[in-house]
Amino acid sequence: MCRGGCTFAPTKTWHHWHHRVNTTQKRYAICSALAASAFPVLVMSKGHRIEEVPEPPLVNEDKVEGYRKTKEAILLLKKLKAWNDTKKVYASQRMRAGKGKMRNQHRIQCRGPCIIYNEDDGIIGAFGNTPETTLLNSPEEESTEKPENHVEAKPTCKDHVPEHHSLPGQEPPAPGNNAAAAVEATSDENRVPGKEPAVGKPGKKAVGITKQKKP
């Protein structure tokens, strides 16, 4: 192999280009990264300029997802005091050092703010021209239905809170107890009012169980 050249058919088994990671570990890493975004010290240690931001992660209203113009996105970043992080990206644009320029990878720049949205009503087009602005989709079904994805604090662009199907003054059901609650409700319906079940009492046999005769 020549120095600085490319490898023919590089996906060899002995090169180990890809490494398998367990799904639980990947989900745990995502939850840890989202939880770490709630600490300004950790976010600023990675180079982000959030000195004037009220609090990270910053939750905004739903109408932001309907922005379609770049000027609306820039005005939003300026109102949220997050424009300094984007200006840092413009100031960090420079030529790459090394042989990457020969491989058509000339310029590098820093990372900007990360925006998590629920529905794309034009927000991708609005932030498309702001450099290094990461846009991630966080559907509500993924964050509420999967028990391993319960994250308390996450940066998002919506203020919608998932509603629990419960009566006023009643606590919402805990995840994973739906099957036990259904079995208990079925047993309550079949129970005769004013009469305790005969199963388990001394001197009485279980109701509905017939003894099979031996052949």
| Residues 67 and 76 sit within 8 Å (Cβ to Cβ) | yes
CB 51 within 8 A of CB 84: yes
Q: Check residue 197 and give its pLDDT.
A: 54
Mean pLDDT confidence for 129-143: 75
* pLDDT of 22 higher than 70: yes
> How much is the pLDDT for 143?
42
Tell me how far apart the alpha carbons of residues 150 and 119 are, in angstroms, rounded to a whole number: 20
Question: Is the pLDDT reported for residue 57 higher than 90?
Answer: no
Whether the CB-CB separation of 82 and 50 falls below 8 Å is answered with yes
Q: What's phi and psi for 80, nearest 5 deg?
A: -85, 5
Averaged confidence pLDDT in the chain: 75
Q: Where are the domains of the chain?
A: 24-149
With bands split at pLDDT 50, 70 and 90, how would you rate the model's confidence at 78? very high
Phi, psi of 59 (to 5 degrees): -95, 130
pTM: 0.56
Report how far residue 173's alpha carbon sits from residue 183's, in angstroms, rounded to the nearest whole number. 15
Q: Is the pLDDT of residue 140 over 60?
A: no
Confidence of residue 19 (pLDDT cuts 50, 70, 90): confident
Pair of tokens at residue 70 = 């770049």
Q: What is the pLDDT of residue 11?
A: 65
Burial 36-70 (b: 16+ CB within 10 A, else e): ebeeeeebeeeebbbeebeebbbebeeebbebeee
Read off the pLDDT of each residue in 155-175 and give the average, rounded to a whole number.
Answer: 46
Residue 82 class from Cβ within 10 Å (0-12 exposed, 13-18 middle, 19+ buried)?
A: buried
- Asked whether residue 139 carries a pLDDT value surpassing 60, the answer given is yes
Looking at domain 24-149, which CATH architecture does it have?
3-Layer(aba) Sandwich (3.40)
